[in-house]
Structure 1
Amino acid sequence: MHALRPLHTFALPSRCHQLITLTHWQQLLEIDFTKPFCLLGQGSNTIFVDDFEGSVLHVAFKGIEINEHQSHWRIKVAAGESWHDLVIKLLDKGIAGLENLALIPGTVGAAPVQNIGAYGVELAQFVDHIEGFDIQTQQLMTLSAEQCQFGYRDSIFKHALKARFVITQVCLRLTKQWQPELSYGPLQSLKNDNPTAQQVCQAVVKIRQSKLPDPHVLANAGSFFKNPIVSHKHAVKLKQSFADIPVYAVDQQQQKLAAGWLIEQTGLKGYRVGDISVYQKQALVLVNHGNGCAEDLLAVIKHIQGQVWRQFAVCLEHEVRLIGRHNEIHIQGAVSE
């Protein structure tokens, strides 16, 4: 058995039957995928809530290839590269576009699965194509951005290709006609300053550092819950009862709410079970004070979901992957708690 505590940033005590570090895609040809397996990058969006009775495949493919074209840059990045390091490397080379996504933890290969996003920008805007290993056919294949079926914190890799596809490379397309995206929250204060991409990046990093604890100091998995999407009708009803509730348009039928705001309004900042608590500075974050266990984490998740449902009739889904004994699990919460 191999210890998993050092391999995921929430640092719950857990183990796996086998740990395999992947440095070349051809290693995938040797793996028995009929047995339980779990893909793992930097472990910043994954929590092992039990000993895993299978193989953990630690994705460590490396390499960045940059090609310049007349109107854009095309960047091909191996799945094991650090996402934040990629953002900084590109900015240092004068290649802008990803600065709003700075300091998002995790690997490049994990980014499309989640369709990472922050401050008005989503990864899907930049994906040219994804390359990976099809477990069923045992061959490499390429998916266009359209084939990835990107949605809010969603993609085909969470559905039809879940447990069937291993991302090996991500190809991005970044236009040379860069314009800053400053429409979201605190970044609006930069609108009159004509900021450079580097300055936007610095602002994003400063904002994120003020809200999110360093996992090396206080174990956490970043934003724990998805911002819920509700019907326009329900959003209007909530606005009537809670005038200052943050609401963001998704389309003509749906609105997006701020999960952190909802949790904070229930008075759960600092709520604690054992060594697991809601972070005092940001209600969207759960933290492990050092000796947390899975039972306490699941209790906190369910309590938060129950309280938010009771006050707002809104279901909260956890954004973080929870891995049980044999596969990923989903906590729905008790809405009648």
Structure 2
Amino acid sequence: MLDIQSHVSLKSYNTFGIDAKARYWVEIDTDEQLRTLFQLTEFLMAPKLILGGGSNLLFTRDFEGLVIKMSIQGIRIVREDASHVFIKAGAGVNWHQLVLFCVQNGYAGIENLSLIPGTVGAAPMQNIGAYGVEIEQVFDHLEAVDIRTGETRIFNHAECRFGYRESVFKHEAKGQYIISNVTFRLNKNPVFHIDYGAIRETLATMGITEEKLSIKAISDAVIRIRRSKLPNPAEIGNAGSFFKNPEISKDQFETLKTAYPALPGFPTGDLTMKVPAGWLIEQCGWKGKHIGNAGVHAKQALVLVNHGGATGSEILNIAYKVQQSVEDKFGIRLNPEVNII
């Protein structure tokens, strides 16, 4: 049974805490409900917004269409072999809860992605990643419902066309499918990734030696790092990293390095370097600054925050100003990681 409501506030469904409204709203708990929804002709042509945890959205206006809150649950092992365990999770499963399930059962591969906000369904759309690991490294396939036909389609790894915080669902297939379930391929024999960010140093402060290293230790270290640097959305509205880390040519990087010797960079290919957006923003003097009720977080310049009562337009305004100052100073254009509505 579908319970379609109208004029629903989205304030508690987005981590920025923006009080936008949905013209229509429905919560989906099963695949069957999703298929039923697309048999309702009155909503076929309506604009649709798929909502997971609301942790990667900035509402600058009300949504004059149908908001579909994906709440399909369930985590189960569907098969395994000598080296891998294949785990299927519903689109509405909290991402961190899936990580904890895998860590507790000794299934390796996503421990570096601990405490990332959001849901399983949004993870492949964004190809979420942190500390040297991205979803595409453990992704097997997903099931998605075609909005036009109501039919289920399976997308394999190649068909998802993963890139840095990118997938086919943000481009050619945008607005055409709703992800209902995702299957991941976890490792029985872990490969540890600890040479990113402050993981190695944090493990040392925790008293974790190479002999004691485990996926739980890495998960605990990542959780400690994220809690020390990133604000809790329950306390201050934010959507985590607002901008992507830009990739620039090695030639441009070397030129900038001459002018700014402290400029950090990480090779991403033969001819490109990834530069931390937070460092660029901080060098432009934005860290801890605010305009009205919108601002840049005092501990992490990559995070824009709602100090209370800010509108989406106010947060977007400060984002534009940050973009412009970084481009003026470094000649680098920052692109949002957050989806702007």
**Correspondence 1:25 to 2:31:** yes
Where does structure 1 lack aligned partners over 5 or more consecutive residues?
324-337
CA distance in 1, matches of 2:27, 2:134: 29
1:51 aligns to 2:51 (yes or no)? no
What amino acid maps onto 1:100 in structure 2? Answer: N
**Aligned residues: CA RMSD:** 1.2
User: In structure 2, which of residues 271, 277, 285 is the aligned counterpart of residue 259 of structure 1?
Assistant: 277
**3-state secondary structure, aligned to 2:186:** strand
User: In 1, distance between residues paired with 2:105 and 2:18?
Assistant: 38
Q: Does 1:7 align with 2:7?
A: no
> What is the match of residue 165 of structure 2?
153
Structure 1 counterpart SS, 2:198: helix
Using the alignment, how far apart are the partners of 2:186 and 2:250 within structure 1?
Answer: 33
In the TM superposition, residue 271 of structure 1 has moved relative to its aligned partner by 1.8
CA drift at 1:220? 0.8
Letter in 2 for 1:281: K
Post-superposition CA distance 1:41-100 (Å, at most 9, x none): 010111211011011100001111113322111101111000001000111112122110
For the residue of structure 2 that corresponds to 1:73, the secondary structure is strand
Q: Distance in 1 between matches of 2:144 and 2:311?
A: 34
CA displacement, residues 2-45 of structure 1 (integer Å, 9 cap, x when unaligned): 10111101011210101100112232332423111100001011
Quote the Cα distance in structure 1 between the aligned partners of 2:246 and 2:44: 34
Structure 2 residue 101 is the aligned partner of structure 1 residue 74:
no
Query: Is the CA contact (8 Å cut-off) linking 1:81 and 1:108 kept in structure 2?
Result: yes
The 5 Å alignment of 1:190-269 reads 190=203, 193-194=210-211, 195-269=213-287
- Does the CA-based 8 Å contact 2:242-2:336 persist in structure 1? yes
CA–CA distance in structure 2, aligned partners of residues 322 and 179 of structure 1 = 36
Partner SS for 1:185 = coil
Q: Once the 2 structures are TM-superposed, how far is the Cα of residue 307 of structure 1 from its aligned partner?
A: 0.4
Match of 1:331 in 2: none
Instruction: Compute the displacement of 1:230 (Å).
Output: 1.0
- 2:52 paired residue among 41, 61, 68: 41
CA contact (8 A) 2:8 2:25 kept: yes
Q: Which residue of 1 aligns with 2:98?
A: 86
User: 1:295 Cα shift?
Assistant: 2.7
Q: Please point out which of 318, 324, 334 is paired with 2:336.
A: 318
Tell me what 1:107 maps to: 119
Letter in 1 for 2:105: K
C-alpha separation in 2, matches of 1:7 and 1:47:
11
State the Cα distance separating 1:294 from its structure 2 match: 2.3
1:218-275 per-position Cα deviation (integer Å, ceiling 9, x unaligned): 1111111100111121111111111111101111121111000000000111221110
Letter in 2 for 1:45: N
Q: 2:310 aligns to what?
A: 292
For the residues of structure 2 that align with 1:298 and 1:104, how far apart are their CA atoms? 22
For structure 2, which runs of at least 5 residues remain unmatched after alignment?
A: 1-6
The alignment-based identity, stated in percent, is 41
Whole-angstrom distance in 1 between the partners of 2:179 and 2:44: 15
> Hey, what's the Cα distance between the residues in 1 that align with 2:240 and 2:155?
28
User: How many residue pairs are counted as aligned between the two chains?
Assistant: 323
Structure 2 length-normalised TM: 0.92
Structure 2 residue identity aligned to 1:79 = A
1:179 aligned partner? 191
